Amino acid sequence: MMNLEMAKKILQTGVKKAKEMGKLCSIAIVDDHGWLVALHRIDGAPIPTAEIARDKAWTAATFRRPSVEVSQFGDPKVPGYGFNVQNWNERLTTIPGGLPIWKDGHVIGAIGVCSQTPREDVPFCQNVLKDFFGEERVLKPKKRIVQKKYGRK
For residue 90, the model assigns a pLDDT of 79
Q: What is the pLDDT of residues 68-97, one digit of tens each?
A: 888 776 666 666 565 555 556 678 888 999
Residue 107 lies in a domain: yes
- Crossing angle for the helix pair 118-133 and 4-21, nearest 10 degrees? 120
pTM given for the model: 0.82
Q: Which domain holds residue 24?
A: 4-133
Residues 6 or more apart from 49 whose CB is under 8 A from it?
24, 25, 26, 41, 114, 115
More confident residue, 126 or 83: 126
Which residues partner with 101 through β-bridges? 109
Q: Say if 146 falls within a structural domain.
A: no
Give the domain CATH number at 90: 3.30.450.150
Angle at 11 between CA 45 and CA 112, to 5 degrees: 65
Q: 121, 96 in Cβ contact below 8 A?
A: yes
Q: Is residue 147 part of a domain?
A: no
Please write the tens of the pLDDT for every residue from 24-79. 999 999 999 999 999 999 999 999 999 999 999 999 999 999 998 887 766 666 66
Q: How many structural domains compose the chain?
A: 1
pLDDT tens per residue, range 6-27: 999 999 999 999 999 999 999 9
**b vs e for 115-125, b when ≥16 Cβ sit within 10 Å of the residue's Cβ?**
beebebbbebb
SS3 assignment, position 85: coil
- Residue 18 lies inside a defined structural domain of this protein: yes
Residue 28: inside a domain, yes or no? yes
The burial of 77, by beta-carbon neighbours within 10 Å (0-12 exposed, 13-18 middle, 19 or more buried), is given as exposed
